[in-house]
Structure 1
């Protein structure tokens, strides 16, 4: 008798659980119909989306920022390539370079290479901000488990690691951007006149080999590590220090972005300079290259053009990096807020 009662109780309990599950499913369906935003939020909180959002938000933020500052980046590249191999000679300024570009074509020439810039952000910034957030979350959890708080050392390590990994992945798009922006400096008969970033990538791969797409990878990685160390580590540190001040959240983000932009510019400009020179160079008829590698480029520029040449265009670079950092970090912060 007791066995029969136990079976009945078990069957009743199973029916109750099934009924509860069906009711819960119905409630979710009804909620989705009545409140699509709630259903959307449920999707955003799935494990897959929680892991993917830092990458998605980072890429979107970087692409917005690149669209804003592309003309400044174009001028910065032209400044770095001017007077190559000579210590003396004309000293271009951002204004003279802008005038020269406009005199040769149209205002939209300042947006040459935008497609490559957007592809680079879709790959590079997606990866660097995504990896940085992922590393920071992991380090924060580990610190809390030990009863500690995350410090500047952890932020620096996360920034350096994220920057290096992302730069290696995004080097082909970065190379295409430099080639597209420097193409106008060549005599008309020697220009490639790339139609798009895809055209540039396929043309380089066909004429120079697939391996050429990673030309300048070493300084690109080091530059990215230096830039991310200055940008992400100092942004995170500055925000933490400004947290308890009377400044509004928006003012804190703007101030932290400006601080991060300065340190990112200071640490990364010499490597950015060398990266530009290496990615622009092409083989001479005899098969030789102006520079054998990163250290050879540093050595020849220091010897032939002077040490200060590495910081030529610092103001332009800062005006390019700081707004880009500010727009990227502000948009990423906003996207993070609305998808949290």
Structure 2
């Protein structure tokens, strides 16, 4: 083989190496499950603040430990796992697919990323709604008086009992606020992470490493908490209700405005930020590392 032919052959091989295969669709779900398992106590506290009469984050945590022990901080973790492996798995997959549809490449404008995130959120919010209900109920159960508790054994027991006791339609309880929140979350969290990461990489101060991943995810977590707070509060209050006729979004808004004023929409912002911020950071840091491991296993690095 001539030197020219050899050079061309090497060039073809090098080009082939540069074109990476798509990452497994489930990587996002696994990353989110790992992150949510670590931050579960904060998520539990956020839900109980939103759905109960607890006033402060630290007081709520102390109350949980006093009544159920340290183990109580992980009440409902099976619901969290079910939610992440349905909702989060779906949203990361749908986000990647939506970016292809809207033509959001590496340096896409913010509006295209937000559009892709909104599309993914709408799909994932609908698919993950049953698991979302179970997660919220499992987390909020021990904050209720004993006579009002649902006492689900785990996420699967809760799912079967909901269908048996409340009908199949109960799986759609709060689906409107949940889908709306999912749209806001993905448009603000996933899209802003990609946007901030791309902008940071344009500067001479950052390379594609853990530092840029951390900075972009920190910014994304703050944006997402603020944007999603109103829908998050409504979703928790509606899903945590179990009586007939108690799932009306309008009824919940009216009652909350009457008793607490408009700032009820940001109730639990601090614990929500305290939970979402490390969760967002952990999700993206874990996801980036899972991608690196995938590249290493494939021999792409």
**TM-score, normalising length from structure 2?**
0.86
Give the whole-Å Cα distance in 1 for the aligned partners of 2:290 and 2:169: 36
Assess if the C-alpha contact under 8 Å between 1:139 and 1:150 holds in 2: no
Q: Does 1:126 align with 2:103?
A: no
Structure 1 residue 205: Cα displacement: 1.1
Give the whole-Å Cα distance in 2 for the aligned partners of 1:95 and 1:59: 30
Q: Does 1:217 align with 2:187?
A: no
Q: Can you give the 5+ residue segments of structure 2 that lack an aligned partner in the other structure?
A: 1-16, 296-301
* Equivalence map 1:254-333=2 (5 Å): 254-283=214-243, 287-289=244-246, 291-292=247-248, 294-333=249-288
Larger Rg, first or second structure (1 or 2):
1
Q: Does 1:334 align with 2:289?
A: yes
* Equivalence map 1:120-269=2 (5 Å): 120-140=83-103, 150-245=108-203, 246-248=205-207, 249-269=209-229
Give the whole-Å Cα distance in 1 for the aligned partners of 2:75 and 2:122: 26
Q: Can you give the 5+ residue segments of structure 1 that lack an aligned partner in the other structure?
A: 1-40, 84-90
Assess if the C-alpha contact under 8 Å between 2:52 and 2:143 holds in 1: no
Structure 1 residue 124: Cα displacement: 0.7
Task: Tell me the SS of whatever aligns to 1:150.
Answer: coil
- Residues 257-297 of structure 1 deviation map (CA, whole Å, 9 limit, x = unaligned): 011001100111110100001001121xxx442x52x2332
Counterpart in the other structure of 1:7: none
Assess if the C-alpha contact under 8 Å between 1:61 and 1:332 holds in 2: yes
Task: Tell me the SS of whatever aligns to 1:337.
Answer: helix
* Change over 3 Å in CA distance of 1:185–1:337 after alignment to 2: same
Runs of 4+ in 1 over 6 A off after TM superposition: none
Assess if the C-alpha contact under 8 Å between 2:79 and 2:155 holds in 1: yes
Give the whole-Å Cα distance in 2 for the aligned partners of 1:311 and 1:276: 12
Task: Tell me the SS of whatever aligns to 1:279.
Answer: helix
Give the whole-Å Cα distance in 1 for the aligned partners of 2:99 and 2:210: 22
* Change over 3 Å in CA distance of 1:288–1:220 after alignment to 2: closer
Structure 1 residue 187: Cα displacement: 2.4
Assess if the C-alpha contact under 8 Å between 1:119 and 1:173 holds in 2: yes
Q: Structure 1 residue aligned with 2:44, among 71, 74, 85? A: 74
Report the number of matched residues: 275
Structure 1 residue 140: Cα displacement: 3.9
* Equivalence map 1:26-105=2 (5 Å): 45=21, 50=22, 53=24, 55-83=25-53, 92-105=55-68
Structure 1 residue 138: Cα displacement: 4.2
Give the whole-Å Cα distance in 1 for the aligned partners of 2:261 and 2:168: 34
**TM-score, normalising length from structure 1?**
0.76
Counterpart in the other structure of 2:5: none
Assess if the C-alpha contact under 8 Å between 2:39 and 2:279 holds in 1: yes
- Residues 207-253 of structure 1 deviation map (CA, whole Å, 9 limit, x = unaligned): 10111011001000001111111101111110011003313421111
